[in-house]
Amino acid sequence: MRYQPHEFYLKRCIELSRMARAGGNTPFGALLTDEDGSILLEQGNIEITENICTGHAETALAARASHIYSKEFLWKCTLYTTAEPCAMCSGAIYWANIGRVVYAMTEKRLLELTGSDEQNPTFDLPCRDVFARGQKDIRVIGPFPALEQEAAEVHKGFWNH
Catalytic residues: 58
* Cβ proximity of 79 and 32 under 8 Å: yes
Task: Return d(Cα 37, Cα 34) in angstroms, integer.
Answer: 5
For residue 83, list its beta bridge partners. 105
**Amino acid identity, residue 125?**
L
DSSP per residue, 6-36: HHHHHHHHHHHHHHHHHTTS-S-EEEEE-TT
